Amino acid sequence: MHKDDIFAEPLTQVPDFCFDDQVAEVFPDMIQRSVPGYQTIIQTIGKLTSRYQQPDSTYYDLGCSLGAATLAMRRNISAANSTLVAVDNSKAMVERCERHLQVFRSDVPVQVKLADIRQQPIENAAIVVINFTLQFLPQADRSALIQRIYQGLKPGGVLILSEKFISADHTANELLIDLHYEFKRANGYSELEISQKRSALENVMKPDTLQQHQQRLQQAGFSSQTLWFQCFNFCSMLAIK
């Protein structure tokens, strides 16, 4: 696995973060060392897939990157006539995702698409996963996507939404951010790497509060929702149609 040292040297100007070749190359190491509970979330997406699968359905992974969640879903689908659709608008990610999926054999067909998730039709879905991707959409576009997902889910279908979040409570917010930085330090990132990555993400990743997410899911029409994972300022939610 290639080590993420993208922000290790001082940069005169830190460019906006983007999912280019350089990031795609180190992504497994980057996400593992940056997102607390990432492995737990991926494994649980697998468990939730075996629980909520339905025959004759489509499964979506929106913002699939290298396909970690796609693979976890695919490994756990046994229902007849299932199809997976994995979507990402980074060419570097999609190319690697396709190669990655070919390494493991499966009878469940996967379509990997280079596209904007805002344009991806959602139809006949048993499960839709958006793992740490909604946070990269302009805030004004988030509700429309969640509404389209709701409409594209079958009755009993589920949305699994993982996000970094902020807290409206200033003290709590500072604490969770600080604990996240401590996690990064413990995983070998230097102060310089942490601060340059923060600058790179500042303009491109705008996290919502948990309340905003919960309200958005409710307004879309989901009959049931729960936070099933939280570690520091990272969480995953499940919403059922």
Ligand X SMILES: C[S@@+](CC[C@H](N)C(=O)[O-])C[C@H]1O[C@@H](n2cnc3c(N)ncnc32)[C@H](O)[C@@H]1O
Ligand Y SMILES: O=C(O)C(=O)C[C@]1(C(=O)O)C=C[C@@H](O)C=C1
Applying CB under 6 A, the span of 103-111, 114-122, 173-181, 227-235 interacting with ligand X comes to 114-122
Asked whether the beta carbons of 160 and 127 are under 8 A apart, the reply is yes
Residues in Cβ contact with 102 at an 8 Å cutoff, skipping those fewer than 6 apart: none
Out of 46, 136, 177, 230, the only residue in the binding site for ligand X (CB under 6 A) is 136
Applying CB under 6 A, the span of 64-72, 178-186, 195-203, 222-230 interacting with ligand X comes to 64-72
Buried (b) or exposed (e) across 96-120, using 16+ Cβ within 10 A?
bbeebbeeeeeebebebbeeebeeb
**What's the one-letter identity of residue 153?**
L
Is residue 236 a contact residue for ligand Y (CB under 6 A)? no
Binders in 114-133 for ligand Y, by CB under 6 A: 132
Residues in Cβ contact with 44 at an 8 Å cutoff, skipping those fewer than 6 apart: 228, 229, 236
Partner that binds at residue 69, options ligand X, ligand Y, none, CB closer than 5 to 8 Å by kind: ligand X
Is residue 34 a contact residue for ligand X (CB under 6 A)? no
Out of 137, 200, 220, 239, the only residue in the binding site for ligand X (CB under 6 A) is 137
Q: Which residues are annotated as a binding site for S-adenosyl-L-methionine?
A: 38, 63-65, 88-89, 116-117, 131, 198
